[in-house]
Each structure stands twice: as C-alpha cells, then as structure tokens.
Amino acid sequence: MPQRPTPEGSKSEGMTRRELLRGGLLIAAGSATAGLLLAERASADGDGHVRYYDSFPHRSAMEHRWAMVVDLRRCVGCRACTVACKSENNVPGGVFRTWVRFAEVGTYPDTRPRFLPAFCNHCDIPPCVPVCPVLATYKRDDGLVLIDYDQCIGCGYCIQACPYGARFFNPVQRTADKCTLCAHRLESGQMPACVSTCIGGALTIGDMNDPQSGVSKLLARYPTGTLKPELGTDPMFFYIGLDGRLLEEVGP
C-alpha cells in the first residue's frame, strides 16, 4: 500500500499513527488471547479437578463416588444436622449449608408433618461448575463439588445456577459457600457432621461404586428418588420415601 504523503512540517518524532494502530490492536487482541492461554494453563494444572461442562466423567468411571441416602421415614425434623453443620464448619448466622424443610401433608384433620433435609446434591453434572467465571468451583475425582475459596470472587453466578438453592453468599468470607459433605472429615475417615449427629439414623453416606457400602445396599433394597431429576443434574443425594405430595407442599 503506497505511503500517504505527509504534509511538510507535520512529521512527528514520536510514535507514528501506523505504529499506534498496530500497537493498539495488538493490545486489544492480546487481552483476549492472553486470557485464553492463561485459562488453558489453569485447566491443565494436574490437580485432578474437573471444571468444564463437557468433560464431567460419569460416576461409574470414578474409583470412588461419594453419595448420600436420606431415609425420610426416619427423619424427625430435629434439625440436629443443621446445627452440627454450622458448628463443624463455622457457618455464619443467617445462612445454612444444611437445612430441613417442613410441610404438613394431607387434609385437615388427617394431616401429618413431613420433613425434607436438604443439602448440596454434589451432582454428577453440576450446573454450578461450568458457569463459574474464575474456575473457583470444581468437581473432584471422588465426585465432591467444592469451592476454592481463595479463587472465588463472590459474583454469585453459581448461586443463581444451583437449582436446589444449596449455595449462598457467605457474608464473612465474602465468597460463595455450600455443603462440602465435610470433605475434611471424610479424608480423615470420619463421617460428615450431619451424619454423625442424626438421631434417627436417617442419613447414610458411602461409596456408591463399592457394592458393600451402606449406600449401595440401601439403593439396592429401596426405591429412591432425587430432587428435580428433570433438570438432568444427576444428584448424588437419594431420598427414600420421597413423594409428590411432600415436594408439592415444600415448594421449589
């Protein structure tokens, strides 16, 4: 392309316009591509965590897969699990990692109280993971869905994406927060605080891929249901005694 003639006396000693344009466009393109390269590095750091929607392995491909069976016939609604969880994990006031929903089921006077303990479902296809803009939330190779609290920016996208209302904004650490299934206790061979404290023995945790585990035996013996199966998240919390009337009463 022929050089445009520069009027006499207008030649500058600094950057030329061509250099300016080239430099600016390089910076603009660089800001986009640098992000791509850095993200590639972040996702390939060999920590065994899965952060992308299209790469979640099915639970059968995992060596261990933690799962919980909640026997609603045994739940008395004492909320000991809620309290134990808050105590174990230092959960601030006003927010909950574990909670129990209550409903009067039936028609007066023929009614009875029903309870629905609720947690993070540690889904096989967790909708909270792919939306995290900073890759702070991830699925571990044993199926637990966790949050890297040092990476989280507290944007709240995962909170919106969770169909179970299991995530919340922690007002003290100012990040997203949720049930970790007491990963720290599982790693040291202990049960999660909610399971240990459940007075009715309604909660059973175990390795779903181990046919001898309590979870596998319960799943083989009883019909179970999961919450919002229509969303395709494949939750790892299975409920015995879950029925439509209870779900209708407790709401979304």
Element (H, E) at 85: helix 80-89
Least distance in angstroms from the C-beta of 153 to other proteins: 5
Element (H, E) at 139: strand 137-139
Give how far Cα 242 sits from Cα of 68, 129, 133, 222, Å. Answer: 14, 27, 35, 11
The answer to whether residues 135 and 42 touch, using CB atoms and an 8 Å cutoff, is yes
Least distance in angstroms from the C-beta of 100 to other proteins: 9
> Judged by CB, which is closer to other proteins: 4, or 73?
4
Least distance in angstroms from the C-beta of 181 to other proteins: 16
> Judged by CB, which is closer to other proteins: 18, or 58?
18
Can you list the positions of beta strands (E) in 59-124?
66-71, 99-107, 110-118
> Judged by CB, which is closer to other proteins: 140, or 167?
167
> Judged by CB, which is closer to other proteins: 166, or 195?
166
The answer to whether residues 119 and 177 touch, using CB atoms and an 8 Å cutoff, is no
CA-CA distance, 188 to 197, in Å (whole number)? Answer: 17
Least distance in angstroms from the C-beta of 227 to other proteins: 11
Tokens of 30: 């660089």
The answer to whether residues 78 and 115 touch, using CB atoms and an 8 Å cutoff, is no
Dihedral, 87, 203, 99, 154 alpha carbons, nearest 10: 70
Least distance in angstroms from the C-beta of 207 to other proteins: 27
> Judged by CB, which is closer to other proteins: 54, or 110?
54
> Judged by CB, which is closer to other proteins: 42, or 221?
42
Least distance in angstroms from the C-beta of 130 to other proteins: 4
Beta bridge partner(s), residue 206? 67
